[in-house]
Amino acid sequence: MPLTLTLNSDELMRLAPDAASLQAAQKLINPRYWPQLGCDPTAIWGECQGSGSKPYQTQIDLSGPAFRCSCPSRKFPCKHGLALGLLAVNHPDRFTSGEPPAWVSEWLASRTQRREQSAVTASPTSAPPADPRAAARRAAERQRRLTDGLNELEAWLTDRLRQGLAQLPNQTESWSTQAARLVDAQLPGLAERLKRIAVLVGRGEHWPSRVLAELGRLQLLIDGARRLDSLPRGEQADLRAALGLPQDKASVLASGERLDDDWQVLGVSFAAEERLVMRRVWLRGRTSERSALLLDYSHGQASFEPLLTVGDCVTAPLAFYPSAAPLRALCVAPPQTLTACATQPRLPLAEALEQLTVQIAANPWPAVRGLTVSGVPHPDADGGWWLTDGAAGALRLQLDAETAWSLVALAGGAPLTLFGEWETEALRPLSAWGPNCLWAAESTGSTR
């Protein structure tokens, strides 16, 4: 049976996380590197000889496409997955049709099982009645841990302020210890926020004012958590998310606000901490002009579905999490890819900052926000970079010099429309849209 693929070379190359991965993959599009190549109607697989004694086991589920490889790369798809797909396009006659080996069939079976479990979770079924006494005991224990964790954090904050901010650089162990206690109290959101504040200590000339502002937000979170039940429903949901309390995906899929639209992928970013990888996909509805955020987590290899890249346009119904300003959403059904979009309307700096102000007023807790803004990138005398918009002002950019000069070349002196992630003081660009051209940041992720 001949091998047939629904993807062509251009579509496969667009899935590359960065130019380096694509360049490395193209060097592997040679059957001599692949001692075993196979296929069936659902998947293709191969063993690629690398630098180790054992070849890397690489496979693609054609229904996604979804990629998996035994190599240690955190990029997704890795160079081996890209090379396997391109090899199937360029040399389909080298693939032997037959039963997949165990390492392929087990992966395909696990994917099928996860899809079935997701379908069961999403479908409204009658759950067996829970023991009300046991449920009450569990709720009381959770509330006790939460209260104790909040009280301990407040006492810790009071001690830090009493001793003075000048002592903070000598107390690195205290930050990690307190963050661990918050995790034990089932408040991982506060623990993560505390870690981010600890990174600011001693960094830059004005670090005391930045740290003090963040400690003030921690106190506001403590105060809000103590009166959680008295807040409006949307504000309750935002505060629960900031605290790191569980959010039920099944209830979001069952009763969350739904919106069916054609969604443009504005940005994709990854962050990794130990073996947990997080993916943020920022979307904007073509008709509704609504913003949406798909937030996913993966353990071990960064294997995410659906596979979305900057510039894609997909059609899908989304269900939004409850919020005072709904943004995070789930795909109700698998998105279908439409024609890629290479344009983005210009948004002046003043208007972009006004939109950012509205977001912060509605929900002040997210550490990262999506922001679209237009302007021209410029360096300053100290090696920093700014996006300027004439007399309207300038916005600080978080860029390395190589990336920044690439944007300057792309702009050619004319304004670009950037989309990026705003983190308190600077915008980290994820994509740039010029006249009939598109630039996307390397999506290899960062380690917090």
- pLDDT tens digits for 317-336? 999 999 999 999 999 988 88
Q: Which of 290, 315, 337 is the C-terminal boundary of a domain? A: 337
Per-residue buried b or exposed e for 388-413, using 16+ beta carbons within 10 Å of the residue's own CB: ebeeeebbebbbeeebbebbbebbee
| Higher-scoring residue by pLDDT: 140, 237 | 237
266 and 223 both lie in a single domain: no
Q: Is-contact 373 418, C-beta < 8 A?
A: yes
31 and 101 both lie in a single domain: yes
Which of the residue ranges 68-72, 125-129, 235-239, 258-262 would you say has the lowest mean pLDDT?
125-129
Identify whether 403 is part of a domain.
yes
298 and 234 both lie in a single domain: no
13 and 114 both lie in a single domain: yes
CA 146-148-151 angle, to 5 degrees, is: 110
315 and 253 both lie in a single domain: yes
Identify whether 19 is part of a domain.
yes
Would you state the pLDDT for residue 447? 31
228 and 272 both lie in a single domain: no
3-class state of residue 268 by DSSP: strand
pLDDT single digits (tens) 378-394: 898 888 899 988 777 88
- In angstroms, the Cα distances linking 444 to 58, 269, 328, 410, 430 are 19, 8, 22, 21, 12
Looking at the DSSP bridge assignments, the partners of residue 371 are 420
E strand or H helix that includes residue 411: helix 401-411
Residue 410, both tokens: 């792309």
Number of neighbouring beta carbons within 10 Å of residue 141? 11
Would you state the pLDDT for residue 143? 83
CATH assignment of the domain containing 436: 2.40.50
Instruction: Please give the tally of structural domains in the chain.
Output: 4
3-class state of residue 248 by DSSP: coil
User: If you average pLDDT over each of 85-94, 320-329, 345-354, 432-441, which comes out highest?
Assistant: 320-329
Q: Is-contact 336 315, C-beta < 8 A?
A: yes
Work out the percent of the chain whose per-residue pLDDT is above 70: 90
Looking at the DSSP bridge assignments, the partners of residue 369 are 422
pLDDT at position 302 over 60: no
DSSP 328: B
| Higher-scoring residue by pLDDT: 446, 35 | 35
- Strands 329-331 and 336-337 come out as unpaired
Written as one letter, the residue type at 299 is H
150 and 209 both lie in a single domain: yes
The alpha carbon of residue 293 and the mean position of all alpha carbons in its chain are separated, in whole angstroms, by: 8
Identify whether 3 is part of a domain.
no
pLDDT at position 154 over 80: yes
Phi, psi angles (nearest 5°) of residue 133: -70, -45
Q: Which of 317, 337, 357 is the C-terminal boundary of a domain? A: 337
105 and 159 both lie in a single domain: no
Identify whether 1 is part of a domain.
no
27 and 111 both lie in a single domain: yes
Identify whether 30 is part of a domain.
yes
Q: Is-contact 270 446, C-beta < 8 A?
A: yes
Number of neighbouring beta carbons within 10 Å of residue 58? 29
Identify whether 76 is part of a domain.
yes
150 and 230 both lie in a single domain: yes
Would you state the pLDDT for residue 419? 95
Residue 391 CA to residue 125 CA, distance in Å, equals 59
360 and 332 both lie in a single domain: no
Identify whether 367 is part of a domain.
yes
pLDDT at position 198 over 70: yes
For residue 226, the enclosing domain spans 142-243
Identify whether 153 is part of a domain.
yes
164 and 106 both lie in a single domain: no
CA 71-270-57 angle, to 5 degrees, is: 15
Would you state the pLDDT for residue 338? 79
pLDDT at position 128 over 60: no
Q: Which of 283, 306, 337 is the C-terminal boundary of a domain? A: 337
